[in-house]
Amino acid sequence: MKVIYDLQERGTGPVTISGMAERLSVSNSSVSGMLRKLNELGFVQHQRYGNVSLTEVGTKAALAVLRRHRLLETYLVAELGYSWDEVHDEAEILEHVVSDKFVDRIASHLGDPVVDPHGDPIPTREGTIVQRETVLLSEAEADTQGVIVRVNDIDPELLRYLADIDIGIGMRVTVIERQPFAGSIQISVRPEKGGEEREQALGLVAAESLWISPED
């Protein structure tokens, strides 16, 4: 359910069995079996060969797990010194064993953060999230200016690459040129806390993992 919600939230297209199987690293038949059970329990809506969506009950359950996952990621980075490419797999394990009380204590200790280290929104205990206007960097037109507010955290190698080239949350970027046939995009980058502006070429895989909040 968490994966279904996450795929819906990122707006990468309809949620399909094959897309879920790829994300979960399991077979299509395994996903189909899971969906049948979730459908019987009233958590998802899915007809054979159709797209997958969460019911209201399923959405509430998914948000509860996402809250755990993203608060754990935030705690691991803020308090235990983890880097942003390490926390996803750790949180995947911990989210299923910690209590609601522990999660609430983490939220209170951290000051009830609204986003995790990757910029993903953290649901409140009531299941609400802060909505922000964002656009994928790969889809931004030339001369678009904005602040990087979210990074796809699925691929640790990609996160390490972005860290190596000093691209991260809070940095201001301007799209200089899109080169879709060359598979790249040219941007200028300015650090969050000042510093020298520089130009950087990004491949489309990297650009498709970054969301910016556009500025006029």
Examine the pLDDT at 23 and tell me if it is beyond 60. Answer: yes
Measure the CA–CA gap between 78 and 197, rounded to whole angstroms: 27
More confidently predicted of 184 and 182: 184
More confidently predicted of 9 and 34: 34
Measure the CA–CA gap between 6 and 20, rounded to whole angstroms: 10
pLDDT-based confidence at residue 216 (cuts at 50, 70, 90):
low
3-state per-residue secondary structure call for 49-73: CCCEEECHHHHHHHHHHHHHHHHHH
Q: What is the pLDDT of residues 47-91, one digit of tens each?
A: 777 889 999 999 999 999 999 999 999 999 999 999 999 999 899
pLDDT-based confidence at residue 9 (cuts at 50, 70, 90):
confident
pTM for this entry: 0.84
Measure the CA–CA gap between 78 and 63, rounded to whole angstroms: 22
Selection from 58, 66, 69, 75 nearest residue 15 by Cα: 58
CB-CB contact of 101 with 136 (8 Å): no
pLDDT-based confidence at residue 191 (cuts at 50, 70, 90):
confident
196-210 mean pLDDT: 91
Examine the pLDDT at 194 and tell me if it is beyond 90. Answer: no
Structure tokens that stand for 8 in this block: 């819906």
